[in-house]
Amino acid sequence: MSLGIGKATAIRLAQDGASVMINYASDLTCADKLVKLIDENRVFAVQADAGSVSDILTMADPTVQHYGRPDPLIPIPNAGISPMKDLKTASEDNFDPIVKLNTKGP
C-alpha cells in the first residue's frame, strides 16, 4: 500500500482513532514511511501477496498478535494494479498477475 485510496483511507481511519493494519506486497521502505507518517502506535504493516488467498488469510494472525482480538474488524478492500501500457503487445504473462490480484485481492 503506497498510493491513492488505501493510503488516504489508512490515514483517515487512524486520525479517527482506529487501529490500522496496512498490507504491502514488497516495498517495506514505502510501508514503513506510511507507518511513520500516520502514527506508529496506531498502524503497522504486514507483507502479503493480496492476490493469494492463503496470504490474505494469514494477514489476520499478525493483526491479532499486534492488537489482540479485532473489534470490529473492518476490511477495506482496495488492492488492484494495471501496469500494462499497451494491450496490443501484452502477453499472457503480463496479464495474469493483473487478473490474479484484481479478482482475488481484498
What does each of the 106 residues of the chain score in pLDDT, given as a tens digit?
A: 556 778 888 999 999 988 898 988 888 998 999 999 998 888 989 998 877 888 878 888 888 888 887 666 566 666 666 666 677 777 777 767 777 766 666 5
78 contacts 9 by C-beta, under 8 angstroms: yes
Q: CA–CA separation, 37 vs 90, rounded Å?
A: 37
10 contacts 74 by C-beta, under 8 angstroms: no
Query: How many Å separate Cα 51 from the centre of its chain?
Result: 11
Backbone φ and ψ for 74, nearest 5 degrees, come out as -120, 100
Residue 18 lies in a domain: yes
* Domain count for the chain: 1
Q: CA–CA separation, 20 vs 35, rounded Å?
A: 10
Residue 11 lies in a domain: yes
Residue 59 lies in a domain: yes
Residue 92 lies in a domain: no
Residue 105 lies in a domain: no
